[in-house]
Amino acid sequence: MAKVIAHTVFFWLKEPLNKMDKDTLTQGLQALRCCPLIASAQIGLPAPTVERDVMDQSFDVSFIVYFNSVADQDAYQIHSLHQDFIDQCGHLWANVKVHDSVLISAT
């Protein structure tokens, strides 16, 4: 049985106060959600929750993507929609971090 993969991406913009850059990035992510390899995806911003030592809310935009298998996630990396997103939006971010997880339980 294939394992669901959670692919969590955090973006730090070069110009975090530039609304047009943030809008361009989120629009690019919205278009990327159309990739047929993606089971589901959400775009997020830092939540206004209480600060704690274990939290890092320094990112500007997050993208949480679920894939039905490792093979789907691997194919996504070279899919034309993903490559187009990088080409069109890569100049906007100063840093990006990815955390991939195999989900061991579902709700």
pTM, rounded to two decimals: 0.92
pLDDT at 3: 87
Phi-psi region of 104 (alpha: psi -120 to 50; beta: other; left: phi over 0): alpha
Contact assessment for residue 90 and residue 3, using Cβ atoms and an 8 Å cutoff: no
**Mean pLDDT, the chain, integer:** 94
What 3-state DSSP class applies to 84? Answer: helix
List pLDDT tens digits, range 38-87. 999 999 999 999 989 998 899 999 999 999 999 999 999 999 999 999 99
Q: Determine the average pLDDT of the residues in 89-105.
A: 95
What 3-state DSSP class applies to 103? Answer: coil
CA–CA distance, 5 with 15 (Å, rounded to integer) = 31
Topology classification of domain 5-47+58-102: Alpha-Beta Plaits (3.30.70)
Domain boundaries, the chain: 5-47+58-102
Q: Write the CB contacts of 83 (distance below 8 Å, at least 6 apart in sequence).
A: none
